[in-house]
Structure 1
């Protein structure tokens, strides 16, 4: 169990770090700086029993919501890595292959589309946003980068 938890933390943090580097890279092309404050606000409200918001920006602010958002972001990355290890086993971490990482990376897009975005008031798969297709494409690309991070971190730490 200790090895499982350790691998999940290291692989999840490594993959999430690459995800964040991808976000910084996109800034070179005019994309806005990633803002984990709104997801932090959503998560803090979730812990208080509120899942759905009309518009998270209009919901009651929460002290430290940006820090909460960053912590939540990395915790989710660790949980996704743990999911990969739970399905494919620690053997995958010892001899990683890309397909399982890609499957998990792409499957996790659904968490954003069907849980986080609707909960924050963006609609399913950002359907309430004027640039919904752009958001969807960026979500898919970011989670492919996350998959590369899962695989790459597992390779580096095997």
Structure 2
């Protein structure tokens, strides 16, 4: 039952994360989330290639956008299950926001130190045109993810 709850909160948190991304895309200078580069990155993992100088220069994969979306939700579900196992059934009996938020902020490390360097953006997007903007947006998005973990837990 705990794993099922973890799956549900991971999905719920990711849905809120995605809604946040769509809302941000309406602002000037912001674009819609693009999961195709993530899909291409996951595709190349099967060859043992983790880090790229520029994922856009890596060989394309016909279904990379679909794979990117699948990976996006698979990681969110994994995070939900890990969080559920860490917190245990007592947290679900009386969910509180702080542990969900702290966990969500900790998960930004995977993006900063694995995914972004893997895509060729450097550690914590250090090679991006505006690294500070990326970092703030990452922290904001993961805060929204934490809110999603908490709210979904309240709903179930």
Q: TM-score, normalised by structure 2?
A: 0.96
Q: 1:48 Cα deviation (Å)?
A: 2.3
Q: 1:87 Cα deviation (Å)?
A: 1.2
Aligned pair partner of 2:17 in 4, 16, 19: 19
Query: Residue in 2 aligned with 1:35?
Result: 34
- SS of the equivalent of 1:89 reads helix
Contact 1:84 1:100 in 2 (8 A): no
* RMSD (Å), alpha carbons: 0.9
1:11-69 per-residue CA deviation (whole Å, 9 max, x = no partner) reads: 10000000000000001212101000000110111122110111001100012100100
Unaligned runs of 5+ in 2: none
**What is the distance in 2 between the residues matched to 1:14 and 1:47?**
28
Query: Residue in 2 aligned with 1:7?
Result: 5
Query: Residue in 2 aligned with 1:91?
Result: 90
Unaligned runs of 5+ in 1: none
- SS of the equivalent of 2:26 reads helix
How many pairs does the alignment contain?
Answer: 155
Are 2:113 and 1:114 aligned?
yes
Query: Residue in 2 aligned with 1:64?
Result: 63
**What is the distance in 2 between the residues matched to 1:41 and 1:13?**
22
Q: 1:99 Cα deviation (Å)?
A: 1.0
Contact 2:103 2:146 in 1 (8 A): yes
**What is the distance in 2 between the residues matched to 1:68 and 1:136?**
24
**What is the distance in 2 between the residues matched to 1:54 and 1:94?**
46
Query: Residue in 2 aligned with 1:143?
Result: 142
Query: Residue in 1 aligned with 2:47?
Result: 48
**What is the distance in 2 between the residues matched to 1:103 and 1:84?**
10
Q: 1:90 Cα deviation (Å)?
A: 2.2
Q: 1:83 Cα deviation (Å)?
A: 1.5
1:105-154 per-residue CA deviation (whole Å, 9 max, x = no partner) reads: 10011010000000110000000112110000000000000000000000
